[in-house]
Structure 1
């Protein structure tokens, strides 16, 4: 008798998806799905039909699963269909469940540490005591993903309800903006879109991660942090921070990750342009698609420590003019970002001593190289919190980001190092670390904001927080030197730079410094105040206004200095996101006491409201009305809205709008057709020549017809 010939192989994509928590993937929900998506370490069902009846005593059926074009021990599973199978979590098996003539039902078990990816299947049949073989190659996609629901998987999350958020939620928020005006920017992750898994496979291949390492979430997330930026390996996004985006998409215009990944897969070219939250949004999409629990994290007032001193150092001339370079580090100065966004991913860390599993920080924004490439993490949050910088990866860099001390130095010919310390601020960096609260999405406000600062560091100023930072300092020779310099200057004048409350775009604001002389002698103070427009990564754009002068402060007296900044001063000089930095410096003639402080705030812009004038019915066209008031005393030109939702036909819609008069209402009516029942989320952005980075979101219920 000839060996069996395969007629058809089928893996029940929809049924397997139910038990494997992959039911949201679009590819398994088509009329006749040809893609199977399952999770490792968990059985899935299949059926094979032959051209003749199966003879159990004589026919042998072998399933050969392979990953990549050169399979090794780790990237293949060769199994015979047998009835007497005892599944083992570390090996492949195929249990024969039922035989009906020419049709066999079976159950496949995969190892719990299996490399993830798109696996190929070959069915080989032969007869006992015969060498003749028939080979059948299954031509459909079979994705096997991480399984955070399985207690034996390295990505396992004990509180499985949280996986509804960290793996299955396809819309979220990223907190952006300076500390006082930070707000949640909606982001559509879209990890279940048909284009995402193929894009992930393309990224991993381009990054060159060996197939046998693709089951290790530590290695995988490190590679993801590298391939989402384009600095090495022609990765996904080109980072740009200078406001010049005409040859691509401005970072503020993106509404989510799918468009970016689709463009990357289609063109096989890097996509322009990204900034930190765009990188972090794409990382979340990739991790959640692959089954690695992930969240976006925003660190407000984030340090970029360029020289591993665990300090952020600012330098001033003898007359207290700020220097824009670091005289002790020619490679680059430390900087402070208004905010910086990265990701946490969840996994056990068998490569580290016990106690460092759980959330791990990874950062795809290219700032510093790690082992020669622009990658960062995974750094255990527990290690960051305790200041244990010796455990991989990049804990020192992340520790500085959230907990460095800000030190100010003034050029001083009498000091041993050439600089004397002006002051040190332990509270400035890492003011608050935010992420989205699980299960909540608040399109209009910040009810969905979760403060996770305590997961990154002990409360500021507590003994534990100082100990953790000093623990890090102990391991770094350079940091020890910086922290050894104590300031012995006489400080009998108190300065205070007042916080600026909300400033709406088009309104004026005032910078005020209070000065109090606590001594019994008069003091002459030389001071300067300035307002500058800045990019969110701390790079200065344009000086808006500056005043300098001398002020006499009598014994035990209080004085103040201030400047008024009008809208006509700052509007022409604003850069994207409308961030302003106010700086104040002073030096006391008699004692040489020096002082400096600065503060960041954002000129606030209106949000887009998204309204529907009628109920949304599945499959029926309706109109979305997008609007917001033009806050400027001038017309807006080149206006465009972008609207994204996973619940509408076409997913992302773009719509040009006519010029809008000064103080007029910007409005657009977009035709949309809902294609999902239940709650769907909308994310919108707006841009014009005069006004950019306007956002909005809405959640709406879609009903059956």
Structure 2
């Protein structure tokens, strides 16, 4: 009899206990609320400054706050905070807090607690571990609940990356495809890029980049505390995208020889680069140039929750001696000479990230320039920024970080010097050449360019030109280049002139090499007369030098007054566009998620010779794997290739195609934006 009584008493004690059966982190619901749905990670992904809900199923009696205490332990590396669960009160915007939302008391229903955890809007970005401790008078039991990744939150007003407009948040955080702009200010080429922040494992790789930084390796605790600040994160990522002084992602190469890696022109998205870096135990990926560095940085910053866009500066000055003047030397025949260390890149690409700048006092919040291309040291490392765009516009060149360098990139004066045998024949200053056009992709689905030059530049000075160059039609590979030289006599006396026109091959980031075409002649011009002279350069004359994607032509004309020996120079640097690939979708208005569709890629060979190469078609959210095929196209023949795809994500997606030609060492591209219906 006594035995039976003891058993009953024991059963009553068990049923009277509060005992956790399991805990649900509600990954799907929390990620939808936090606008992190679609981001691929091995953990729950959350944004700071916003509550997330955890469900606890328990056995025994209902939770009683008088009998047991629930305490969350939130761990980030060596740092942790303990957060007791409150049954009432208000969340604090500056510290972690937890509140019991509701508990199910129905004796017939499974027992369940719903708890809201609040992170402060200034919490550090990182991968956290979550533990739950149940304390009673007699026992303490700890449950390991798993990990979560915490990101910045541009939807939260208290976060230092808060962005007011939903359209801009969608463009600069959630959009995973866009355009990069290259070429020259007079002939801009838009280049599709897949940022790939939703691709499998990419977010985890971005978090690994923070963990591998020299700052984290030197002092992990200080690094984790500093990761609350997007200014700090921007400087870490700017250095980690290049491999100059750390375990960074990309190695730069401007030599033209990419035989032991991938030519920068062949990349079309960030996922391939970031995965390759991760899969090779964080060895640098070969190779990148400025637009590749910038596009990868844009991916990382968007993944971390910091609004970011890719920006191109045409005629970008590299001022090595910080005197804000770039000197360019020409011969009297119009040939550009490689004298001096300063240079003007036809285009240079960086990113802007949106954040508050409390370190600069008032007025400098907003877009900040960050440049991961390794050019100059900043604080002992190859990185640049964040430089406040407003400080650049206001010429506040004593403002951190790296404002003088970026100011010179967009605003330096160009001093043109014509010399003969080391002797200066004439000099002139151009205040408008540098930063001729600064642009980014326009927000929204339109895939158009937005001119943001005025955000950087002070007003320009009026030009007074006696000679100018103009293209009669846009230069395209395979066609004759047609341009005119316009000469204006601004005085009341006739003149006898010598005209020297010179074309040199160049790469976007350095001075030109040898002349491949030139023309010289004499002409007479009457008082106040305007003379227009037309010139043509045939495909045969430029095809051997001007086919690579980022090769350009430096075209210059020097007009010499025979009597006064006064010389005037006009120059134009331009790119010759490759023909586009055309992509058409069979049912363009009815593309539906998880339903097979067909895209048709076409291209007509404009060259007088047959071309062969590799066609690659890719699309994040459209194709699981890239489609690759070899082909040969005869002169004037039209190639047609059908590609089947099944969309797995709704919204605006981008399908892009590239054809790498072996014979002409150039890359042809095309892209199509597709609206996928849910």
- TMscore range, shorter length: 0.7 to 0.9
Partner of 2:258 in structure 1? Answer: 245
Deviation at 1:359, TM superposition (A): 0.9
Distance in 2 separating the partners of 1:413 and 1:600: 25
Deviation at 1:115, TM superposition (A): 0.5
Question: 1:293-304, aligned counterparts within 5 Å?
Answer: 293-304=307-318
Give the conservation status (yes or no) of the 8 Å contact 1:4–1:126: no
Q: Does 1:8 align with 2:15?
A: no
Distance in 2 separating the partners of 1:288 and 1:505: 36
Distance in 2 separating the partners of 1:613 and 1:517: 57
Give the conservation status (yes or no) of the 8 Å contact 1:227–1:236: yes
Give the conservation status (yes or no) of the 8 Å contact 1:167–1:293: yes
Partner of 2:512 in structure 1? Answer: 540
Partner of 1:48 in structure 2? Answer: 56
SS state of the match for residue 167, structure 1?
helix
SS state of the match for residue 504, structure 1?
coil
Distance in 1 separating the partners of 2:626 and 2:300: 23
Distance in 2 separating the partners of 1:602 and 1:323: 20
Partner of 2:453 in structure 1? Answer: 453
Question: 1:138-287, aligned counterparts within 5 Å?
Answer: 138-139=145-146, 141-209=147-215, 210-267=223-280, 268-287=282-301
Partner of 2:91 in structure 1? Answer: 87
Q: Provide Cα deviations, 1:156-206, integer angstroms capped at 9, x if missing partner.
A: 112344211111111111222112221322211122223221111111122
TM-score, normalised to structure 1, is: 0.84
Q: Equivalent of 2:635, from 656, 662, 669?
A: 662
Q: Provide Cα deviations, 1:323-350, integer angstroms capped at 9, x if missing partner.
A: 3021xxxxxx222222221111111100
Q: Equivalent of 1:350, from 340, 344, 358?
A: 358
Give the conservation status (yes or no) of the 8 Å contact 1:255–1:643: no
Aligned length: 646
Question: 1:3-82, aligned counterparts within 5 Å?
Answer: 7-27=21-41, 35-49=43-57, 53=61, 54-68=63-77, 70-71=78-79, 76-82=80-86
SS state of the match for residue 360, structure 2?
coil
Give the conservation status (yes or no) of the 8 Å contact 2:470–2:485: yes
Deviation at 1:315, TM superposition (A): 2.5
Q: Provide Cα deviations, 1:108-157, integer angstroms capped at 9, x if missing partner.
A: 111111111111112233323x5x54333233x30111111111111111
Partner of 1:108 in structure 2? Answer: 117
Give the conservation status (yes or no) of the 8 Å contact 1:4–1:134: no
Partner of 1:438 in structure 2? Answer: 443
Distance in 2 separating the partners of 1:117 and 1:630: 50
Give the conservation status (yes or no) of the 8 Å contact 2:51–2:116: yes
Deviation at 1:692, TM superposition (A): 2.3
Q: Equivalent of 2:428, from 409, 423, 429?
A: 423
Partner of 1:574 in structure 2? Answer: 546
Pair 1:438–1:519, CA change in 2 (3 A): closer
Question: 1:511-522, aligned counterparts within 5 Å?
Answer: 512-516=484-488
Partner of 2:500 in structure 1? Answer: 528
SS state of the match for residue 86, structure 1?
coil
SS state of the match for residue 540, structure 1?
coil
SS state of the match for residue 574, structure 2?
strand
Pair 1:349–1:679, CA change in 2 (3 A): closer
TM-score, normalised to structure 2, is: 0.88
SS state of the match for residue 182, structure 1?
strand
Pair 1:57–1:609, CA change in 2 (3 A): same
Distance in 2 separating the partners of 1:668 and 1:394: 48
Give the conservation status (yes or no) of the 8 Å contact 1:499–1:599: no
Q: Does 1:340 align with 2:348?
A: yes
Give the conservation status (yes or no) of the 8 Å contact 1:238–1:274: yes
Give the conservation status (yes or no) of the 8 Å contact 2:467–2:570: no
Pair 1:556–1:626, CA change in 2 (3 A): closer
Deviation at 1:618, TM superposition (A): 4.1
Pair 1:178–1:617, CA change in 2 (3 A): same
CA RMSD of superposed structures (Å): 3.0
Question: 1:625-644, aligned counterparts within 5 Å?
Answer: 625-637=600-612, 639-644=613-618
Q: More deviation in 653-662 or 145-154? A: 653-662
Deviation at 1:83, TM superposition (A): 1.2
Give the conservation status (yes or no) of the 8 Å contact 2:661–2:667: no
SS state of the match for residue 496, structure 1?
strand
Deviation at 1:318, TM superposition (A): 7.9
Distance in 2 separating the partners of 1:588 and 1:547: 17
Partner of 1:486 in structure 2? Answer: none
Q: Equivalent of 1:308, from 312, 322, 341?
A: 322
Give the conservation status (yes or no) of the 8 Å contact 1:320–1:586: no
Distance in 2 separating the partners of 1:167 and 1:583: 43
Q: Equivalent of 1:684, from 657, 661, 664?
A: 657
Deviation at 1:63, TM superposition (A): 1.1
Pair 1:520–1:95, CA change in 2 (3 A): closer
SS state of the match for residue 336, structure 1?
strand
SS state of the match for residue 573, structure 1?
coil
